[in-house]
Structure 1
Amino acid sequence: MGDIHQSISQMCANLGQDRLLVQGAGGNVSWKEGEILWIKASGTWLANATKEDIFVPVDLKHLQNALSQKNFTIKPQVIATKIDNKLQPSIETVLHGLMPQKIVVHLHAINPLSHLVSRDCRISIAKICEQASINGVLVGYHKPGPDLAQAIYQSLQEFPDASVIFLKNHGIVVGAQTTEEIYSLLKKIDLAFAPKLLTSKDSDVPANILQSPVEGYTPLNNKDAQKIVFNQYLFKRLNQDWVLYPDHAVFLGPAANIYPSWEVLQKQNKDSHPELIFIENVGIFVKPEFNKAKVAQLLCYFDVINRVPPEFRLESLNAGEVRDLLNWDAERLRQNMAK
C-alpha cells in the first residue's frame, strides 16, 4: 500500500469518527494516481478505512474521455485487482472525476448542511463564504449521479477555481492537493457555518423513558435523538420538514411515523407496524431491524434541525424527488451494503 493510500485511509478514518462530518455509510473520498481514480466503494464506511479495503480503482482516462464529451451517464470501469470484487464504485464517482484536484472529499457535513436545507440558503451561503474567504460555489438540488454531475460540470465551467462546492439539500464537495489542505478547508467550513445557538438542551429528555407496551419495540438508545420528541420545535419539524436530503429518504423513508399515543398504534394490524415510531413527550421507539446505519441517519437529522432556528423555513425534497431516490437500484445496493 502506497504512502498516499495510507494517509488518505487514515484521514477517512479520522473524518469518519466525527458525526458532524460523516454519518454511517454517507460521504465518499477519492484520489487520482496516474490514470487511476481510487474511489470509496458504495455502502462502505469511511470510519473503517484503516481496517477494511473500502476503495475501488477506476480507469480515470476512460472516465475523463467520456466527460470531455459531456457523457455524464458513463459507467466507471473498475480495474481488476485482488480487492473484493463485490465492491462497486460510489454512486458519485463521476462527480469525483470532474473535480481537477488530486484529492476530493464529499461529505454531508452538518454545519453547512443546516444552512443548505434552508429556502434562502443562496444568500446565507454567499455571505458566509465571503466573510470566511471560502472559494465556493452553490449548486441547486439534483438527484445524485448523472444529474448532479452535470450540474457540477456546468458550475465548474463558470467557476473553474472553486475548491468547495455547496450542494443544496445534500452536502459539500471539497478538493485539494494534500490531506493537510483538506483538513484545513474542512475546519474553515465547519467554523464558518457553526450555529450560534442550538434549539434543544439536555434537560429536554427525561432521565428514564418508559418501556414500550407494544411487543417488539424498545426505546431508541440515544439521548440526543430522543430530544426530537421532547422539544416542541424539533417535533414540529417531523411533519413539516422530514426529507431534507437524499440519505434521509434512502435510510429513513418518505414520511415520519408519528403516533399520538400507544393506543393508536395498538389498533393497527401488527404486520403494518413500522420499525421507527415517534410519540410526542413519550419517546422514539424502534424494532430490532433498525440498524446502526439508520441510527446514524436519525442522529444526522437531529443534528441538522437542532442547528436551525425554529422560525427558519426549510425546503424539503418534494414527493417526486423522494420517489426517484427510493426507486433507484443504485441506492438499494448502497443501503444493503451499509447494514
Structure 2
Amino acid sequence: MQDLLALAARLGRDPLVIQGPGGNISLKRDGVMWVKASGTWMAEAEERPILIPIDVAAVLDGLATDDPACETCEPFVRRDLTDLALRPSIETTLHAVMPQRVVVHVHCVETIATACLSDATERLATPLSGLNWSFVPYVRPGASLGRAMAEHLKAGTDVVVLGKHGLVVAADSVTEAARLRAEVSQRLARTPRTAPGPDRGTLEAAAGDGYAIGDDDCWHAIATDPISLSAAQCGSLYPDHVVFLGPGIVAAEAAERAVAAARRCGRAAVPLVVIPGAGVLVHEAATSGARALIRCLADVTSRLEGDDPISPLSADDEAQLLNWDAEKYRQSLDARPS
C-alpha cells in the first residue's frame, strides 16, 4: 500500500502524466479494492488519505446485472473500513474489471496526443508492438466505460489505451505497474514544438475584468504556435478539458478584450481565453484544476502535427460530461486556492 501511495504521489507531481485531480489508482487485497476517491489529488497521496475501500465482487456483480449503483459505486463502499466521507472514483468500474492486483490510470500527455486521433488504433500498432494491449473507443467515464473495458480485455491484457482519454496499465505489483506505465509513455512519446513567447502588449490590452496574463509561459504556446492553436480550436480533445475548462476554447477576435470574447460565446468568467498569436488570459476565479488543464492543453497540442486527423469529443459527449452529477461533484471539490 505504501509503495502504491508513493507511486501515486510521484505520478501526480508530473504534469505530463497527471493533471490536477485527474487519474486514479487501485490495489486489490483480501476481496477489497482500495481505489482513489473522486476529486482527490494523487500528488497528495502521501500527505492525506485518498483511497476508498470497495467490495470488488459486488461491483463486478453489479456490472453483470446492469445495476445502476455501478454509476457511482457508492453503495459498494466498505464503510466498516473507512471514515473518509468521499465518493469512490467515477472510474471505479474500470479498475474492478481488470483482474490484476494493481491498476494505474493516467492522463498521459504522450498517450492522449495519439488517442485523440481518428486513426489512433493504427497509430498505436507499431509503438506498442510486443505488449499485450487493447484500445477502447471513447465512452463516457463511469459504468459504461467499465463495461466497454470488460468487452475489450483479452487474457493477459495489461495495457489499455482509452480513446480521447488516457492510459491504463495493470500488474500484480506496484513496481511492475510503474515500469509498464513508463515504458508505454516512452514508446508513445512525441517531440513537442518550441513555440514563440507571448506578446505581452497585446495581452495587456485584452486583459482586465478578472482576466490576467497566464502565469506559466508554456501556456501561451496554445495561442502563439499556429499548429497548437488550430488543434485547440478543433474542440475538446479529452474529458477533463470539458470538466475543468468547459467545451472547446474561447478565442478572441482581433482587438477584442477577453471579457467580451467570453460574453460573445455565452460563457462569462470562462477560465481560459485565447488571444490568437499573442498568448492566453486566465480568469482570477480559475481553480487549481483548471490551471492544470491549461498546461495539459499546451502540452498535448504541442505534440500534434498539422496533418494529424484530430477527432474531438462530440457536442453530445461534452453535454454528458457537463450535465453529469459525478463530474459536478468533482468540480465542487476543486474549489481550492490556485
Aligned to 1:200: 194
Determine whether 1:144 maps to 2:141: yes
Determine whether 1:243 maps to 2:233: no
Determine whether 1:254 maps to 2:247: yes
Tell me, in whole angstroms, the C-alpha distance in 1 between the residues paired with 2:271 and 2:134. Answer: 39
Residue 153 of structure 1 aligns to which amino acid in structure 2?
A: A
Match of 1:223 among 217, 227, 236: 217
Determine whether 1:97 maps to 2:66: no
Tell me, in whole angstroms, the C-alpha distance in 2 between the residues paired with 1:266 and 1:162. Answer: 48
Q: Give the direction of change, closer, same or farther, for the CA distance of 1:71–1:165 in structure 2 (3 Å limit).
A: farther
Q: Give the direction of change, closer, same or farther, for the CA distance of 1:29–1:72 in structure 2 (3 Å limit).
A: farther
Determine whether 1:295 maps to 2:296: no
- What secondary structure sits across from 2:249 in the alignment? coil
Tell me, in whole angstroms, the C-alpha distance in 1 between the residues paired with 2:81 and 2:260. Answer: 54
Tell me, in whole angstroms, the C-alpha distance in 1 between the residues paired with 2:211 and 2:31. Answer: 51
Residue 180 of structure 1 aligns to which amino acid in structure 2?
A: T
Determine whether 1:185 maps to 2:184: no
- What secondary structure sits across from 2:232 in the alignment? helix
* Cα RMSD for the two superposed structures: 2.1
Alignment TM-score, normalising by the size of structure 2 = 0.90
Residue 252 of structure 1 aligns to which amino acid in structure 2?
A: L
| Long gaps (5+) in structure 2 | none
Aligned to 1:6: 2
CA deviation vs aligned residue, 1:279-335 (integer Å, no higher than 9, x gap):
112321122111111011111111111111122120001111111110000000011
CA deviation vs aligned residue, 1:187-220 (integer Å, no higher than 9, x gap):
210111011x32333xx00485653553322101
- What secondary structure sits across from 1:183 in the alignment? helix
Tell me, in whole angstroms, the C-alpha distance in 2 between the residues paired with 1:308 and 1:120. Answer: 13
Determine whether 1:120 maps to 2:119: yes
Alignment TM-score, normalising by the size of structure 1 = 0.90
Q: Give the superposition deviation at 1:70.
A: 5.8
Residues 275-286 of structure 1 aligned to structure 2 (within 5 Å): 275-286=271-282
Question: Is 10-19 or 280-289 further displaced after alignment?
Answer: 280-289
- What secondary structure sits across from 1:277 in the alignment? strand
Residue 256 of structure 1 aligns to which amino acid in structure 2?
A: I
Aligned to 2:106: 107
- What secondary structure sits across from 2:28 in the alignment? strand
Q: Give the direction of change, closer, same or farther, for the CA distance of 1:65–1:301 in structure 2 (3 Å limit).
A: same
- What secondary structure sits across from 1:106 in the alignment? strand
- What secondary structure sits across from 2:161 in the alignment? strand
| Percent of residue pairs identical | 30
Tell me, in whole angstroms, the C-alpha distance in 2 between the residues paired with 1:282 and 1:221. Answer: 14
Tell me, in whole angstroms, the C-alpha distance in 1 between the residues paired with 2:281 and 2:54. Answer: 42
Q: Give the superposition deviation at 1:225.
A: 1.0
- What secondary structure sits across from 2:17 in the alignment? coil
Q: Give the superposition deviation at 1:30.
A: 0.5
Asked whether the equivalents of residues 220 and 278 of structure 2 are also in contact (C-alpha less than 8 Å), the reply is no
CA deviation vs aligned residue, 1:220-246 (integer Å, no higher than 9, x gap):
101111111111111122322x20111
CA deviation vs aligned residue, 1:258-278 (integer Å, no higher than 9, x gap):
112444556676994533211
Tell me, in whole angstroms, the C-alpha distance in 2 between the residues paired with 1:305 and 1:286. Answer: 18
Tell me, in whole angstroms, the C-alpha distance in 1 between the residues paired with 2:219 and 2:260. Answer: 26
Residue 260 of structure 1 aligns to which amino acid in structure 2?
A: E
Q: Give the direction of change, closer, same or farther, for the CA distance of 1:273–1:150 in structure 2 (3 Å limit).
A: closer
Question: Is 205-214 or 107-116 further displaced after alignment?
Answer: 205-214
- What secondary structure sits across from 1:172 in the alignment? strand
Q: Give the superposition deviation at 1:72.
A: 7.2
Question: Is 13-22 or 270-279 further displaced after alignment?
Answer: 270-279
